[in-house]
Amino acid sequence: MRTKTIFYFAFLLLIASAFSFSGCSRLFGPSDEEAIKAINESGVFKDLVLQSPVVILEKGGRNKDGAWPVKVKVIFTYEIKNKQMSAPMEKMLIFNMRKAKDSAGHTIWNTQLGS
């Protein structure tokens, strides 16, 4: 009986430490599709012309302030003068994503351009 108790305790301890070491909060962060949708709907790129879709490079674990950082790559152009377009620019940006409720009460992801 005592060996079974020790075995169950060790098994539970192993599972708890595995979640702790792997960064359990990553399991509940935004999926790639949710992140891309939220970034496109955020309005950050409203004055820019995207040359390719937003590409997610890396998703981080949850920060102390409750946000999930998402590192993305974008290639865009913008209008200079007289309706001329700039050369394509490639940037790596970090967005902080947080869960929020919309007016209908549905859970959505809010994005904010981070540093």
CA angle 47, 52, 53 (to 5 degrees): 85
Asked whether residue 11 is domain-assigned, the answer is: no
Asked whether residue 92 is domain-assigned, the answer is: yes
Asked whether residue 6 is domain-assigned, the answer is: no
pTM to 2 decimals? 0.70
Look at the chain and report how many structural domains it folds into: 1
Asked whether residue 4 is domain-assigned, the answer is: no
Asked whether residue 2 is domain-assigned, the answer is: no
Q: Which residues of 10-34 are buried (b: 16+ CB within 10 A; e: fewer)?
A: eeeeeeeeeeeeeeeeeeebbeeee
Asked whether residue 40 is domain-assigned, the answer is: yes
Asked whether residue 101 is domain-assigned, the answer is: yes
Of the pLDDT bands very low, low, confident and very high (cuts 50, 70, 90), residue 8 is: confident
For the chain, how far is it from start to end, CA to CA, in angstroms?
A: 55
Asked whether residue 79 is domain-assigned, the answer is: yes
Inter-residue contact 112 to 104 (CB < 8 Å): no
Q: What is the pLDDT averaged over residues 61-69? A: 90
Percentage of the chain modeled with pLDDT above 70: 89
For residues 98 and 53, give the distance between their C-alpha atoms in angstroms, rounded to a whole number. 22
Domain that holds residue 45: 29-113
Q: For residue 27, what pLDDT is reported?
A: 59
